[in-house]
Structure 1
Amino acid sequence: QQAALNSTFVSFDGGIQQLEGEDTRIIVPAILSTISGFGIGGNVLVLVVLIYAYVMLANLSATDLMILSVCAPLRTVTYYKRTWTLGLLACRTTEWIQHSCLAVKAFTLLATSQARHNVSSHPEEQSNFRQKNVVITLIIIWTVALVFPVPDTVFSRLKEEGNISLCVSELTSHSQDAMRVFSKMLPLGIYVLPIILSAVCHIRTIFLIKPSSHEESFLARQYENSLMYLSIITVNTLMMLPEWVSWVWMRHSSGESCKPPVGLLIFAQVCIYLSSAFFPAILLTMHVTLRESLSDLCSLLACRRDKHRLKLEGNGNEMHAVVMKVLDERGCVTIIERHSDASCQTLPDLEHFWSERRNTTVAEDIDPLPWERMNQSNIEL
């Protein structure tokens, strides 16, 4: 009780509480819900298409999915209720979960950037991450990311004021030094340093790429991927900047009058979820493989729908001729022939490679079905 009396308020956790005005109670939850809905749909689609061939991008998408499906709804409830109604455990872990997810994104981008730089620096020793190395890297990333923000659980506490509960970060006389160190180490460790190192790796990769006749396609793909990753890093940097500025400001302000404005705090939290929602849009814009995969998926689904509809209208040789004519007009007869109802186990994101694959041996570095060689294959970043 004495410690509680000597504690100093630092910030609200899990969303700003005790806001005044009906507009903030309705508008902010509506904005967060809309962002979460679009972001969850996009990241699920990206995750389904890329989970086998692009594991690190899939990990980024899974992390954004977790942010949008766990952290954003929790803050939506808080803004609507204006008080904390989710209990002690959620209060203790809300900031820790969000900071852990942000750390996973930063460390994944850093690991991928370093790996791609190594490949471009030594094209004669061209090798992608093997499956075992990817698994080990992801385990290390998630372990460090979960441990780094653990002090968040120490500073967060559930505070009772009359008949309402508030989730806050408070500073006691015994934790001042720890808070001072943590408030500097966290933004440096999961924001500033990973961004700088990742950007440097991709910029160096772009300048290291020197096209040659036998490696032109590979280096062109490396160049495009480096630009894509730089775009992801740039968007994350700009979107996370308000959050970390306000976070450091709250912990280094000398008095209540020096605290950041409420508008900045709300804007910073909205930007975090916008960053996660923009990730699928960036991939669709700059990742050629993803666009082609989604296009083939849509074509295959449309062909199957037309085939099923026409079969319901009649049968016999005449109807078969009508079906094939309609499908031929849509340009998808070959897709249907290769994917009959009885043998439709191949994912549709690689159909345009199949005609070459039937009669030739595909090199390992361009194999469109990498999961067929999981035990000995390399996984592209």
Structure 2
Amino acid sequence: MDIERPSNVTLFDFVGGLQLLRNSNIRTAIPVVLIGVCVCGALCNLLVLLVFIRDFRKGRGSEVKALLASLASTDLLILLLCAPVRAVTYYKQIWTLGSFVCKTTDWFQHSCIVAKTFILAATTRSKHTFMGEEEDGFQNATWIHGALVFVWLVAMLFSLPQLLFATLVPYSLDEVICVSEMPVCASEFMSLFYKIYPTAVFVVPVIFTLAYYTKTLHGAVNNAPNPRHQSKVTLVLLCLSGALGLMLLPEWGTFTWIRLGFNRPPVGLLIFADVLFYTCSSVFPVLLMTMYDDVRQGLVSFWYIATCRPRKHAPTTVCKLCVKPDGNGAEACSNEVSSNAKDKTFPDLEHFWTGRRNTHVEDEHDPVPWEKDEKMLQMAVESNQTGSRQQECA
């Protein structure tokens, strides 16, 4: 990786991914890894979003679910808009995506990083009764909308230097690279800014969130009115905060290392930080799907809908959800009914055909004709009951 710092700038760094790498194996392997992480993470985040949308449509929303849905949306933006840019850059090793993408790619990625950290910190303000069992939805959603707008405004403002200093630089006759150049006149202010920036948007929020959920988990286990449910959700948020802090630490470490003017980190560390950053956006939905009960139950419901829906061309198999009449709760069951189509009788006509099959020539000299009438009436009632049960099962 050949890079020379111009004499009139104090910072010269690649934007949008490492460029000018000579190792052909890295140029092939890293894009494949990034594309795999991007596809898996995008699918998982979409599933999580579908579960949350379903809960909100059914009136089972809560404040923490709204914030987690925003977190999944942010991860989806990172995987769909930022990761492909890195993959193309690693493969081409020069910049081919134009001036607009060069200026905005790192700015947008850093905005998403800061927004993720602040959104997780905002979950400490949300109601931690997590009305999942008695939830009527949350009444006051105004503060959530205001918090999300504030978070994204702050994130975009803090990341503005990544937009201002990004530029295209000629590398050869018909090739350019995308770099960040900080002029000498701004070096003193930006040196102070790059000491405050990582501390304010990463270190402090992550430490605060981890400390808060550790304390909340201890209180939920010992003193909460519903300790089992509340401690589970608190544990999920604690794991999300811990994963965010650990998996973004190399990214923030290398970023600060370069901006404060130290020697360039090893290329392997820079690549590892990039891959781990995008993996973080894929790990978040996996944690939600495996640890968060509401998300897991939503996925199970989607599975039943996808696999147990009656097929139009196979009427002999019927899958349904049965509810016990004694009120003990709902249980999923699969009933398989096999019948011959030509022998099938509609329930509404069951009584008619039963009566027709049982008709015979009555004896005019029968001394007790009313007994036969009673038998016919009883058979008609039984056939009606059979038809009603078949309708309910169908």
CA deviations on 1:15-46 (whole Å, 9 max, x unpaired) are 00000021111101001000001000000111
Structure 1 range deviating more: 15-24 or 138-147: 138-147
Give the gaps of 5 or more residues in structure 2: 131-136, 323-330, 336-394
Number of residue equivalences = 307
Partner residue, 1:97: 108
Q: Look up the SS of the partner of 2:170 in the other structure.
A: strand
Give the gaps of 5 or more residues in structure 1: 121-126, 312-321, 334-381
The alpha-carbon deviation at position 188 of structure 1 amounts to: 1.1
Identity of aligned residues (%): 35
Equivalence map 1:263-302=2 (5 Å): 263-302=268-307
Partner residue, 2:250: 242
Counterpart pick for 2:90 among 75, 79, 82: 79
Q: Which amino acid aligns with 2:91?
A: Y
Q: Which amino acid aligns with 2:157?
A: V
- Please give the alpha-carbon distance, in whole angstroms, between the structure 1 residues aligned to 2:168 and 2:319: 68
Distance 1:162-1:110 versus aligned 2 partners, 3 A rule: same
**Large movers: runs of 4+ above 6 Å:** 325-330
Equivalence map 1:253-268=2 (5 Å): 253-254=261-262, 258-268=263-273
Tell me if structure 1 keeps the 8 A contact 2:308–2:320.
no
1:136 is aligned to 2:146: yes
Partner residue, 2:126: 115
- Please give the alpha-carbon distance, in whole angstroms, between the structure 1 residues aligned to 2:269 and 2:318: 59
Q: Look up the SS of the partner of 1:275 in the other structure.
A: helix
The alpha-carbon deviation at position 293 of structure 1 amounts to: 1.1
Distance 1:181-1:325 versus aligned 2 partners, 3 A rule: closer
TM-score (norm 2): 0.73
- Please give the alpha-carbon distance, in whole angstroms, between the structure 2 residues aligned to 1:29 and 1:71: 13
Distance 1:129-1:175 versus aligned 2 partners, 3 A rule: farther
Q: Which amino acid aligns with 2:113?
A: L
Equivalence map 1:34-183=2 (5 Å): 34-51=36-53, 52=56, 53=61, 54-116=65-127, 130-163=140-173, 164-183=175-194
Tell me if structure 1 keeps the 8 A contact 2:10–2:187.
no
Q: Look up the SS of the partner of 2:51 in the other structure.
A: helix
Partner residue, 1:223: 231
Q: Which has the higher helix share?
A: 1
Q: Which amino acid aligns with 1:96?
A: W
Tell me if structure 2 keeps the 8 A contact 1:10–1:251.
no
- Please give the alpha-carbon distance, in whole angstroms, between the structure 2 residues aligned to 1:9 and 1:112: 36
Q: Greater RCO between the two (CA within 8 Å, min separation 6)?
A: 1
Q: Look up the SS of the partner of 1:168 in the other structure.
A: strand
- Please give the alpha-carbon distance, in whole angstroms, between the structure 2 residues aligned to 1:252 and 1:150: 17
Q: Which amino acid aligns with 1:21?
A: N
Tell me if structure 1 keeps the 8 A contact 2:258–2:265.
yes
Q: Look up the SS of the partner of 1:108 in the other structure.
A: helix
- Please give the alpha-carbon distance, in whole angstroms, between the structure 2 residues aligned to 1:129 and 1:295: 28
- Please give the alpha-carbon distance, in whole angstroms, between the structure 1 residues aligned to 2:34 and 2:6: 33
CA deviations on 1:133-183 (whole Å, 9 max, x unpaired) are 211111111111111111111121111122211111122211101320221
Tell me if structure 2 keeps the 8 A contact 1:300–1:332.
no
The alpha-carbon deviation at position 10 of structure 1 amounts to: 2.8
Distance 1:4-1:88 versus aligned 2 partners, 3 A rule: farther
The alpha-carbon deviation at position 302 of structure 1 amounts to: 1.1
The alpha-carbon deviation at position 201 of structure 1 amounts to: 1.4
Distance 1:7-1:282 versus aligned 2 partners, 3 A rule: same
The alpha-carbon deviation at position 55 of structure 1 amounts to: 0.9
The alpha-carbon deviation at position 128 of structure 1 amounts to: 5.6
Q: Look up the SS of the partner of 1:167 in the other structure.
A: strand
